[in-house]
Structure formats: C-alpha cells, structure tokens
Structure 1
C-alpha cells in the first residue's frame, strides 16, 4: 500500500522526484509534448499563486515517489470557497489505487479548509477524465487547447500597422508601471464576463495590489511576464499577457487577454495579440510556440486566435465537485 505524506519543506530531492513523476505522466498521456522543466517545478512548489496558499502531498512505495498532488487554496474575498488541484500518478504505478488515495487526501484537506468546491482540469483524451467522473466530478466547462507556431504566424505586421484612431499601443515587462497600475487593475476586472460555463470560480477583485502580486509571483518563479495593452486617453481599453517559463523557453503560455466592454468590436484584441507576437519575434526569438486555451463558447476569442494562426492541439475539460462527496 502506498503511503501518502504531506510535503512541507521542499528540498531539491523533492523537486527532482516530483518532476520525474510529472514528466513521466506527460510523456505517457501526451507523447511529444514538452513536460515542465526542473526549474518550472521548483517554482510551482515553492511559490503559491497570487492570493492563495497551497498544500502538497507525495505518495511513496518502497522508497520511490509514485504520485503527487497539489491543492491551491484561494484566500481572496469571493473565492475562499474554492480549491484547485493537480494530481499525477507515475504510469508504472497506475491502477493500483495511488490516484484514489491522493484524491481522498486532497478532498479531506479541502473539507478541513471549509471549501465547498474542488476544481481540476483533465484532457478528454486521457484516463484522468474517466477517473474524475467515476469519483463524482462533473464537467462544467469544455476548453479548446490551441498552439501557435510563432515564426509561421501570418499577417502580424499588417495587423499591428492597422490604425485604431484614439488608441495607442504600450507594453511592459514584469510588474505594471506605477502610473498604469490603477488603469490596469480596472481593465483586469473586464474579465469578469468571460464565459466560464457552469464552473463555480467565484469572483476575483482586481486592485493595484493584486495586479502587482500576480506579476511578482511570476517573477519569483523565474518566469518572464510580458504585457501589451492599448490606451484610450488614460484608460487601458484592452491587454494581453504572455509568460515565458524559466528553463526551456521555447513554448510560451498565454495568460489573460481582455477588452473592456465599452471598447469591444474595434479589433483591439487582435491588435494587442499581434503586437505581442511582433515583440516576441524581435526580442525573444527562441520562443517558437504559444499555448493557449479557450472556452469552446468564447467564439470571439477563438476567431481572434484562429486569425493569428493558432491550431487545435487537444480538448480539455474543467471538472468540479463538492469535496464532501469524496470519501
């Protein structure tokens, strides 16, 4: 029987063992897809996301780590009901109860923390989806995972050069400049009407402290955060964020993209994303791919991404469950 124990003080040995499980899991589930690097795993285990803390567990048998789980507990107002977790079992130890043991441990901790909703993402192409459904999870949101070959993206220069009277492009690296912080926090709040299906994500209040905290977390993990925005007078009308992970920086990860409701219908979302591509090509030529996901009913953003050359990679699903239902 595998033993599950809480991971508290993360050592280099812990990071290496965690990485080995995740890398083997990714290789088995998604052949050819890049796994997180050691540096990325170190950042994830040592630096919780903004506005949250996390709990971590490892399953072991005969001295080897057979599975890992991480539970993120949101602390901000409007999200204290929520826990988000990841769970990986080494392919050589699957179907032996390791995943079930870890899931029950996660659920017990979520109940102790008075969380009413557990959320997790799984690909419809792996056994993870069936495992979650067997344990009472409901698919609440379907996502399309998309991938862009950066050098092959077409029409970027033309899109960037298209005039948008009354608007201008700006960009920054890392934490938002002080003179833009308030306007950026207001623009971040525009994401509140993004399609989220039936997911119980709660509400996120964006203020100056939160936008700075998010960027500082990315920095502490060793990643690079890029933001491109468009200004209308003193208002940020739209923006897009991209993160280049530490280590193998050939695949960047799309973070948030949003256009404030009063400025929609003007092509600003496409404009800022094209400007981001132009910036990447000029200063981060090692970035060859960008990964993003879209809710399947977010037709506008899907159209923007398709226009830039993003292509479907696979389908994923967001699942949720009341932790009191897992025993």
Structure 2
C-alpha cells in the first residue's frame, strides 16, 4: 500500500474530519467546520492543510501554519493526526516531513506540535528532534446523566445573557475575548487584534453556538463568558471560559459556565468536552466542581530549526 501526502481538495473535508474525530474524539470536528476553517484561514497564517492518502482513502491529516497572531516571532505549528486503525504505514512520518519542510520555507524557526501523551507518540516526536514542553488535559462530562451544580441567582448588578443578545454589535464580546486570551496559559501567546477576522472566524464559525454561550454582564459591561460549540450530534464543547482582569475573583466565569451547561442539557446535548492547561489550577478546579473528568492528556513539543 503506497501512502502519498498532498494538499487538500474541497472533497476531502469529510475524510479530514473523520480522521480528526477518530484520533481526537474529545474535540468537535465536522466536514462543514473543516471546510470553513480552510476557507477562512488568515492569509498571514500561510495555512496549509495536508492529507495522507492510501488507495484512495484519507488515513491522516495535518494542520500546518504560522502563529501569525503570536508576539513570538517565527513560530510555526504542525499538528499531525493518523487514524488509529491505519497507523504503522508511515503516514505520520510523511506528514511530519512535508509539514516541516513547508514551515521552514515560510521562515519558521520554532516548530510546535501537540501530541497525545502516549509512549508511542512521545517516542515518535523525540525521534524527529522535538523536545517536550507543557501539557494540557482533555476533560469530559456526561451531560445526559451527571448531576450539575444547581443554578444560582446572579448577585446584584450581574445579569446572565446569551451571546445571541449581542448579535447587533458583537464588538464588546470581541474585546472581552481579547482580554481573556491575552493571559491564557501557553508557550505561544495569542493577541486578538483583528475584529473583522474574529467576526468571520469566531462569531460566524459553524460550531459556535451563540444561544448556548453565556455572558456575565456587570452593570451593563460584559465581564465574563463561557463560549459554547456544538456539532449537531449532541456534543458540546467549551471554546473558552474567561473573565476580564478587572472582574476576577467574583466567581463570574463559574456562574456563566453553569448557566451554559444547564441550557445545553435542556437543548439536548449529552456530552460536554473542554480542555485546560495542566498548570491552570483554578480552571481545572472549576471543571472538577462541575463533574468533568480527565479523559486524555496532550503534550506540547517544540523543535528549533535553522
């Protein structure tokens, strides 16, 4: 069986999403979302999705690009996934090699990748010259049967609103998202500065659920939020939960997430997923309080080139 690596074609969206779901069942992936992400990638990211194909079947995929929105210069990323039932055929090695060659051509000096924390995956990364950095947990909550904390009445001056209430002017949510993203734990920071791109790729993303996203508003000002993603099959994912620095320490993020989870259950969602950096103790504690359990761990690896 000959394995080839090539650029994606529009008709590859279903196969690309299928590999992603099989390799990372803790993340939402649909053909519509995959095609949307390809079409709306920021030009500065030089985004180049790849697939590994064998006898006409897509058995692996790679998300490759530059971290254009990071203050760190010359950082690139290549996240490679191979279908668990198709491993051992060299698809991962071919995808990694093609990804690295492309990133070096684009001027990247530090190549970052996420891999599941399994001995075989770690050995693969280390054989290719990568060194481990930080890690992050995937967490799952059984929304169909697990008890949720009771809904709480917001304190005086605080109102809980769905993100859909801001449809006429989402800019306040963009500003809140930018504030909370700026100090999110990670080894490659992110700065949200392009409102139009945020509108196109976050607010209008096919997985983003404005009705189930909850915003805590304090005296008319958006102060905290829990962003919801849904895939139409009963799976719910938290895109981001955060609080603006000026409003921290008041339990607003927990309040918003609890409201979102309760409404997600009413809407028919049966599984909830989220992810946290292993060093993010406060958010891990909040998710444990909700009943989430760690279901897998990813490790960030980096390789310096040039």
Pairing partner for 1:195 from 185, 196, 202? 185
How big is each residue's C-alpha offset from its partner over 1:257-297, in whole Å with a ceiling of 9 and x where there is no partner?
11122211111111000111122133x21x11111111112
List runs of 5+ in structure 2 lacking aligned partners: none
Correspondence 1:133-144 to 2 at 5 A: 133-144=126-137
d(CA) in 2 for partners of 1:205, 1:46: 19
d(CA) in 2 for partners of 1:38, 1:111: 29
Counterpart residue number, 2:304: 322
d(CA) in 1 for partners of 2:27, 2:195: 34
Pairing partner for 2:286 from 301, 304, 310? 304
How big is each residue's C-alpha offset from its partner over 1:176-201, in whole Å with a ceiling of 9 and x where there is no partner?
434451364145313322222xx1x1
List runs of 5+ in structure 1 lacking aligned partners: none
**C-alpha contact (below 8 Å) 2:28/2:237 kept by paired residues:** no
d(CA) in 2 for partners of 1:109, 1:262: 42
CA 1:62–1:312 in structure 2 vs 1: closer, same or farther (change >3 Å)? closer
Give 3-state SS (helix, strand or coil) of 1:314's partner.
Answer: strand
**C-alpha contact (below 8 Å) 1:186/1:207 kept by paired residues:** no
How big is each residue's C-alpha offset from its partner over 1:83-128, in whole Å with a ceiling of 9 and x where there is no partner?
2322223456533433222211101111111122222221113622
Pairing partner for 1:171 from 162, 166, 176? 162
Number of matched pairs? 304
**C-alpha contact (below 8 Å) 2:229/2:237 kept by paired residues:** yes
Counterpart residue number, 2:16: 18
User: Shift in Å at residue 242 of structure 1?
Assistant: 0.9
In the alignment, is residue 281 of structure 1 matched against residue 281 of structure 2? no
**C-alpha contact (below 8 Å) 1:66/1:98 kept by paired residues:** yes
Give 3-state SS (helix, strand or coil) of 2:104's partner.
Answer: helix
d(CA) in 1 for partners of 2:228, 2:275: 13
TM-score (norm 1): 0.79
Correspondence 1:157-306 to 2 at 5 A: 157-158=150-151, 160-161=152-153, 163-173=154-164, 176-179=166-169, 181-182=171-172, 184-196=174-186, 199=187, 201-206=188-193, 208-219=195-206, 224-225=209-210, 226-245=212-231, 247-248=232-233, 250-282=234-266, 284-285=267-268, 287-306=269-288
d(CA) in 2 for partners of 1:169, 1:19: 34
How big is each residue's C-alpha offset from its partner over 1:6-48, in whole Å with a ceiling of 9 and x where there is no partner?
33xx232x3344355445x53xx87xx7984544544444443
How big is each residue's C-alpha offset from its partner over 1:119-159, in whole Å with a ceiling of 9 and x where there is no partner?
2221113622321122122222111211111233435434x
How big is each residue's C-alpha offset from its partner over 1:44-88, in whole Å with a ceiling of 9 and x where there is no partner?
444437974521223345555443322133434636633232222
d(CA) in 1 for partners of 2:177, 2:86: 46
